[in-house]
Chains A and B, each alone.
Chain A
């Protein structure tokens, strides 16, 4: 469903060149739930933006749902859902319900399908209480649930989430995690999730990828990840060791 082949993206900053992502290759199959970890500035968001076609890679090949994102951006948009935790994709001054209506038109979802999906999402995400509230007046937790619903209204095959639980309280987090698990299990939606919250990873992801300095530093199951640091019992410690470069990684460059 997602394929990256030796992908690189560099930025010219003043006179030097910064390689945000280099030589990155991985494949995510349909139906997988993958966590994408990395310290700040490691290249997580850059990768996500290349997957949506927002950024054009400087080298290598990206394929999402069989399409080249940067060339077929608007076509791909109908088949993926994107959530940015730090930035809403909803219309600030419009009530949530109006944003959803607009999305229905933009994605050409027929009325009946839209109704069923919206009812479903309203129930599972508990949106009923604030559907008529302008987005700017929503709390962060409400807004994030609204954003999630917006990203799923067109029933995408792939859901890409960039820090969806950032800044949320434990209850909201738990709600969103349960919801994501359901979407993946029941609809078979492929999910790629970046987060700094290791609780998200432990509870949701069967597979974890770690990116550091723009390169893939680890790719495997949570158990594999824990095995990279024998004697460490918490995932926090294991990941810290990975980020700081103290871990001995099997098969890493």
Chain B
């Protein structure tokens, strides 16, 4: 039975791969040339880096909903329960703790740089948030930051801040007639405001995914 299932899956998988490869090779070129469209409108997007322009301006919708999805994932994780008091941090190598203490300012500095750089070169809120979250995980592993149990008021505020700022900007601009269409003069500042909020919230959410889980049922 198991052998039969295995060979069936292998045969279906190979046919799927063959079909997809043939389809990819035969595909005609795209009718709409997106890179040209982006380059054409980049000047009025408020930023100089095309990926940031797409993320926060041309397709700001997707990013707004994505942050909502992240919040939902974290909320679902919190409702799973089993929230016992986290185990006290085990004795950790003092060398690791010293390294973590010295690395922390550098991590925060790197995140700040990535956030600022996003306007004109690779970088932005997502990478900065990921670096912040990695820093928090590092601190936890070094025994300097206890695992989280239930979020208190300030943590809750931090978790939703990015989403709320984004939503507030979207709501304030509804009078313009379309969702998230920034006036070109204000676009740069608004994008930086949204990205700053997103960096903090994404960092906390991504860190929370690890810190709420760890030590829960071990």
Answer yes or no: are A and B bound together in one complex: no
Chain A interface (Cβ < 8 Å from any Cβ of B): none
**B residues engaging A (CB < 8 A)?**
none
